[in-house]
């Protein structure tokens, strides 16, 4: 049975990924800080969900992740989905620090664990849920877009590293546009239902895609972000 860990599976995209994978007969290790939600998820799929409650930014995060993998009895796919950001008009150092903690430091701790685990066993698949926001800076949440850019650029580097190793080690960067969860704040367009987003993410993982936009039409925005000249972007970004 395929063993999957989803970091950040208590709500939104991660919860739907966990439900779809568990419903398809996979063994899922679900994490998050909200114990009551983890418990409820475990009750939904008693034979397919195992939980570990912890803060992905905490000093014990790697130990908790390892404990979860021991409970699962192995690991084939690790999805770093935990994330947070808060749009704001002013520059708030506490918000920026918390944003970097979960989207960069927590991400690094999990990815290093997964990389070590997969290179030792000789196969595996690492996935991060970054964001379309990582394609360009924006004034509403500069730390969030910078942190998500870090994830995407880091994963491009890991992808090259994995290719050179010539073992079945796969790396996938998921870049969602707007998905209908509590994370999607402010003016929104092309908002995807969360279940549709989760299904597209699973398909991309199965196809071992290097990078994918969710939903697919967001590739157009990613391209626009890259090619739109500064003198235009700085009026709207
Ligand atoms: N929704 C969108 O429009 C959108 C767009 C682009 C990218 N994304 C990305 O998609 C991912 C999922 O977000 P979502 O939209 O599904 O939002 P969400 O419902 O708020 O889910 C966020 C998940 O991350 C977990 N998490 C947050 N901080 C954590 C911490 N310190 N330790 C452990 N877990 C933590 C949360 O669990 P606990 O609160 O229980 O800890 C929750 O399970 C995020 O990385 C987000 O940046 C979302």
Q: What is the CATH number of the domain that holds 33?
A: 3.40.50.720
Sign of CA dihedral 230, 224, 111, 43: positive
pLDDT value for 236: 80
Q: Ligand 1: does its nearest atom lie under 6 Å from the Cβ of 102?
A: yes
Whether pLDDT at 48 is above 80: yes
Nearest to 95 by CA among 104, 86, 82: 86
pLDDT in tens, 201-214: 999 999 999 999 99
pLDDT value for 131: 98
Give me the catalytic one of 117, 144, 170, 213.
144
Told to judge if 144 belongs to the known catalytic residues of this protein, a careful annotator would answer yes
pLDDT value for 187: 80
Q: Ligand 1: does its nearest atom lie under 6 Å from the Cβ of 181?
A: yes
What radius of gyration, in Å, describes the C-alpha atoms of the chain? 17
Note down the domain range covering 96. 3-236
Q: Are the C-beta atoms of residues 162 and 171 closer than 8 Å to each other?
A: yes
Whether pLDDT at 185 is above 80: no
Chain centroid to CA 198: 11
Residue 78 Cα, ligand 1 centroid: separation in angstroms? 15
What average pLDDT is seen over the chain? 96
Whether pLDDT at 184 is above 90: no
Whether pLDDT at 216 is above 90: yes
Residue 164 Cα, ligand 1 centroid: separation in angstroms? 32
Q: Averaged over 227-236, what is the pLDDT? A: 91
Q: Averaged over 11-28, what is the pLDDT? A: 98
Q: Ligand 1: does its nearest atom lie under 6 Å from the Cβ of 134?
A: no
Please report which confidence band the pLDDT of residue 170 belongs to, taking 50, 70 and 90 as the band edges: very high
Residue 15 Cα, ligand 1 centroid: separation in angstroms? 10
Whether pLDDT at 186 is above 80: no
Number of domains in the chain: 1
Nearest to 82 by CA among 31, 36, 153, 17: 31
Chain centroid to CA 111: 11
pLDDT in tens, 146-166: 999 999 999 999 999 999 999
pLDDT value for 129: 98
- Which segment of 40-49, 54-63, 228-237 scores lowest on mean pLDDT? 228-237
């Amino acid at each position: 049975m395929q063993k999957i860990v989803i970091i950040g599976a208590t709500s939104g995209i991660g919860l739907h990924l966990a439900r779809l994978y568990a419903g398809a007969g996979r063994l899922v290790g679900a994490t998050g800080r909200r114990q009551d939600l983890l418990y409820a998820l475990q009750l939904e799929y008693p034979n397919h969900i195992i939980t570990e409650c912890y803060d992905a930014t905490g000093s014990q995060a790697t130990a908790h992740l390892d404990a979860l993998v021991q409970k699962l009895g192995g690991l084939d796919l690790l999805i770093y989905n935990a994330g947070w950001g808060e749009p704001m008009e002013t520059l708030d150092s506490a918000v920026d620090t918390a944003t970097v903690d979960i989207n960069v430091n927590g991400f690094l701790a999990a990815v290093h664990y997964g990389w070590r685990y997969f290179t030792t066993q000789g196969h595996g698949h690492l996935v991060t849920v970054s964001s379309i926001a990582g394609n360009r800076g924006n004034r509403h949440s500069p730390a969030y877009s910078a942190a998500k850019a870090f994830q995407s650029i880091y994963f491009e580097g890991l992808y090259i590293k994995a290719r050179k190793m010539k073992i079945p080690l796969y790396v996938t960067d998921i870049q969602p546009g707007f998905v209908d969860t509590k994370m999607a704040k402010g003016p929104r367009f092309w908002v995807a239902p969360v279940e549709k987003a989760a299904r597209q993410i699973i398909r991309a993982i199965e196809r071992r895609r290097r990078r994918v936009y969710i939903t697919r039409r967001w590739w157009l925005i990613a391209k626009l972000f890259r090619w739109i000249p500064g003198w235009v972007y700085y009026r709207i970004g």
